[in-house]
Amino acid sequence: MASGDEAAARAAAEGFDGEVVSSQVAGGVWKLLVEAGDAVLAGQPLVVVESMKMEITVHAPCDGRVERLMCSAGQPVGAGQPLLLLR
């Protein structure tokens, strides 16, 4: 599994110029609330991560469209690991 920095660097190297949305905590992806292609508004819930029996909701930092999901439900994630790309 690539670290958050490696995945973000790879997205930048591939010419991605949007927002990389990352997990703030280490835990597991509990629920995906969007799919690739969905239009989202700033502040909209995108992903729920479970960490230490707490649910942490990751919100959209800006308006955009989900370019690519970089996680799946049940997947463990590290703090700073990219979850999805917004354009």
Instruction: Locate the domains of the chain by residue range.
Output: 4-86
Report the distance separating Cα 46 and Cα 40, nearest Å.
8
How far separated are the first and last CA of the chain, in Å rounded?
A: 24
Please report the pLDDT score of residue 18 as a whole number.
83
Please report the pLDDT score of residue 17 as a whole number.
73
The CB density around residue 68, as the number of other CB atoms within 10 Å, is 15
51-62 average pLDDT score? 95
Please report the pLDDT score of residue 1 as a whole number.
44
CATH class of the region 4-86:
mainly beta
If one compares 53 and 6, the residue with the highest pLDDT of the two is 53
16-34 average pLDDT score? 92
If one compares 72 and 9, the residue with the highest pLDDT of the two is 72
Q: Is the dihedral of CA 69, 18, 9, 55 positive or negative?
A: negative
Write down how long the chain is.
87
Q: Are 9 and 70 in contact (CB under 8 A)?
A: no
